[in-house]
Amino acid sequence: MSSQRCDERLSKLMVAKTANTVNINAVKPLGDKQASKKARSQTTGSVKLLNATKLLNMALAANIILLSNDVSLNPGPTQPSPSLMKGLRLLHLNICSLRNKMDELRLFCDEHKPHIMTVNETWLDDSFTDGEIALSGYNAMRKDRDENGGGVAVYIVEQLNYSRLGESTIQTRNDNFESIWFEVCQPKTKKILCGAIYKTPDADPASFTSWVEEILNNVMSNDSEIVLIGDFNLNYLSPTSATKHFQQTTESFHLKQIITKPTRIAEETRTLIDLFLTSRPELYTCGVIPVGFSNHCAIFGVRKLHNIKRPPPKIIQSRDYKNYDPAVFSDDLNKIP
């Protein structure tokens, strides 16, 4: 092979090497827009299809939310706990046996801090002492049916002034409905007459209405503020003629029922039978609280009121564990009956 031909081949190889060598200094960095454009150009068809599907799902979800009209973008509790509201807090719950639910009731009151707590269907009799159903910081009133069913109890915070109306005054004895009536007396405020009421499901509605009407005629005065609270077993969501008659009777005493949501929700039914009637509805904020230890929801009404004095401080004794001696502690335990 001649030297001239070899020089030509060597020249061609050098040109090929130069053409295939990347000159880093000559490459300009891509800007954000150029990089994005290049990335899109290199995206495979399947990835583009996946991104398009995701975008379509987001658009559909947004349209559904807009069309539904009442769906919150950040769902959560629609009302604060009564404990966060200022005023006189009245709560009610059909507990379906207080016998074995005192712990649940204590936790419920610790969370919602009622000033007045009324309880229906206590299912208590004379074998249960007042100490067994006591709530710390509350005075208790009870009316048992002395059999397995019914019964009413009322818990009132110790710093609240109240007086219970005697049975002879209101004549409330009846086998199908029970009640406890009392007056709340606060400074700078008129007395509030409260009736904690329970009516059995099979009680005659007409007799019950006449019974309530008779009591109201006996106890109320022209300037009385009245609150009736409890399980009336009259469904306000689907009123019958008997329910409408009760409504008309209570309206004649200027009482308005302020609970609007179902209070007992079963598999096939939703009823509003736990009621809060008041002669001053404009002063109350009300609501429904679902609970897990009863087939009824709790209801509440918070009345605008002057500040209620706080309970007095309590002195609590506790053991000092700084110099803890296990032997002495065990000895103390052995001396406890």
pLDDT band at 280 (very low <50, low <70, confident <90, very high): very high
Residue range 174-190, pLDDT digits in tens: 678 899 999 998 777 78
- Rounded Cα distance, 119 and 106, in Å: 13
Instruction: Compute the average pLDDT of residues 122-131.
Output: 93
Query: How many other CB atoms are there within 10 angstroms of residue 125's CB atom?
Result: 13
| More reliable by pLDDT, 176 or 163 | 163
Q: How far separated are the first and last CA of the chain, in Å rounded? A: 121
Lowest mean pLDDT among 86-95, 233-242, 311-320: 311-320
In this structure, which amino acid lies at residue 63? N
- Rounded Cα distance, 294 and 309, in Å: 32
Which has the closest alpha carbon to 175: 198, 155, 159, 141?
198
User: C-alpha distances in angstroms, 316 versus 135, 138, 158, 165?
Assistant: 17, 17, 18, 35
| More reliable by pLDDT, 54 or 240 | 240
Q: Return the pLDDT at 58.
A: 80
Question: Model's pTM, two decimal places?
Answer: 0.70
pLDDT band at 16 (very low <50, low <70, confident <90, very high): very low
**Domains and their CATH numbers in the chain:** 82-304 (3.60.10.10)
State the chain's mean pLDDT as an integer: 83
Q: Where are the beta strands (DSSP E) in 74-144?
A: 88-94, 116-120, 138-143
- Rounded Cα distance, 135 and 52, in Å: 61
